[in-house]
């Protein structure tokens, strides 16, 4: 049994902790908390140890604390850094490197430049085994993760027949439970979005991918509009849908009216955190025009990276066979069952 510490208990950290706590191969030492808020009580009620910075012990005097962040790092085999974007590098330098502990970082950090947290971005569909001997690995953001699930099957099937990928990312403004962030009445664009280079880092630098990114006033998932241009007549819509039919973590939906429609249904079915943990290809929006396939899909923001973290954890801690790792993740997340439920509800029947 391996010991894991989750440093941060926000949108991503709370999800990861609650899922991996059910993994019989893992002992969750506890979670790192930096603010004495309601999340502390939630974590304690679930039986997780609470570890805080030495400098903030006094702030947590009204809670039952298990120790400091440094105490937790002394005990663990791996830390999953789920701190807010940009803090991962500081944690790496001040905490993980001095303690010589392996770490997984989340999207929002960098893999190039002075503040790089790792050399590789993980995508289970593309480079699973590359994480085996790495000490530090970054799990891609939700947008970056989702694009790998779409691009890799296309690349494997059609290869050099594809001329280029042009994608427009419509990003949600804030997570559902992020009450501190105001959702502004504005559509904002990102100059030189990091997603392009992040995806190319694991798909290959020569991948003909071009991305525009916009942030829109919603908390209900991301939507990607992707044009795939071929060097010849493009495949038919049915050929494209057949390609993704059996892909793990991809559901093909026909009658969803919008992202909230999917999220609301997930809530009625009692999916954890209202998450589907997957990509949803909207088949009613799929079009082919001459040499271009136009694909629209929604990306389950925070939810999509949680099973990816579990797969990455298996690669780093156990060097587990990829098929076995997917089977083990499925035991915790039940994504095949979720996929079936979603596809039946949003079918044309």
Rg (CA), the chain: 20
User: What are the angstrom distances between the C-alpha of 127 and each of 102, 150, 203, 211?
Assistant: 19, 14, 8, 21
Query: What residues have CB less than 8 Å from 82, skipping those under 6 apart?
Result: 6, 7, 8, 9, 10, 12, 13, 16, 106
H-helix or E-strand containing 267? helix 259-268
Query: What residues have CB less than 8 Å from 176, skipping those under 6 apart?
Result: 219, 220, 263, 274
Q: What's the residue count for the chain?
A: 349
How far is 346 from 121, CA to CA, in rounded Å? 33
Query: What residues have CB less than 8 Å from 222, skipping those under 6 apart?
Result: 142, 143, 146, 169, 170, 171, 172, 298, 299, 301
User: What are the angstrom distances between the C-alpha of 228 and each of 125, 233, 291?
Assistant: 19, 11, 8
Q: Look up 76 and say whether it is catalytic.
A: no
User: What are the angstrom distances between the C-alpha of 299 and each of 59, 178, 250?
Assistant: 37, 18, 10
Which of 44, 142, 223, 251 is flagged as catalytic?
Answer: 142
H-helix or E-strand containing 78? strand 78-81
Would residue 347 be called left, alpha or beta, if left means φ above 0 and alpha means ψ between -120 and 50 degrees?
beta
Instruction: Give me the sign of the Cα torsion angle 158, 160, 161, 165.
Output: positive
Q: Which residues are catalytic?
A: 142
């Amino acid at each position: 049994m391996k010991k894991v510490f989750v440093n941060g208990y926000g949108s991503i950290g709370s999800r990861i902790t609650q899922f991996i706590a059910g993994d019989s191969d893992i002992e969750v030492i506890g979670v790192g908390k930096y603010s004495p808020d309601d999340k502390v009580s939630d974590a304690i009620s679930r039986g997780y140890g609470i570890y805080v910075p030495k400098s903030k012990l006094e702030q947590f005097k009204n809670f039952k604390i298990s120790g400091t962040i440094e105490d937790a790092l002394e005990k663990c085999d791996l830390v999953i850094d789920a701190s807010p974007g940009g803090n991962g590098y500081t944690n790496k330098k001040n905490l993980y490197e001095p303690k010589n502990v392996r770490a997984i970082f989340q999207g929002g950090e960098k893999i190039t430049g002075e503040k790089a947290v790792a050399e590789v971005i993980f995508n289970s569909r593309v480079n699973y085994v590359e994480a085996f001997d790495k000490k530090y690995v970054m799990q891609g953001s939700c947008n970056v993760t989702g694009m790998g699930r779409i691009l890799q099957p296309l690349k494997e099937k059609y290869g050099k027949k594809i001329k280029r990928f042009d994608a427009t990312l419509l990003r949600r403004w804030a997570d559902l439970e992020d009450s501190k962030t105001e959702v502004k009445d504005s559509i904002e664009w990102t100059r030189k979005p990091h997603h392009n280079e992040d995806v190319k880092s694991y798909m290959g630098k020569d991948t003909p991918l071009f991305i525009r990114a916009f942030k829109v006033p919603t908390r209900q998932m991301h939507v990607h509009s992707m044009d795939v241009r071929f060097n010849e007549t493009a495949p038919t819509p049915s050929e494209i849908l057949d390609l993704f039919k059996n892909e793990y973590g991809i559901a093909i939906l026909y009658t969803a009216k919008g992202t909230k429609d999917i999220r609301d249904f997930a809530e009625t079915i009692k999916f954890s955190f209202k998450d589907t943990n997957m990509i949803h290809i909207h088949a009613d929006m799929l079009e082919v025009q001459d040499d271009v396939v136009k694909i629209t899909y929604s990306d389950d923001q925070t939810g999509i990276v949680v099973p990816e973290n579990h797969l990455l954890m298996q690669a780093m801690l156990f060097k587990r066979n990829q098929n076995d790792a997917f089977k083990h993740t499925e035991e915790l997340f039940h994504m095949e069952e979720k996929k079936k439920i979603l596809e039946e509800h949003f079918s044309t029947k």
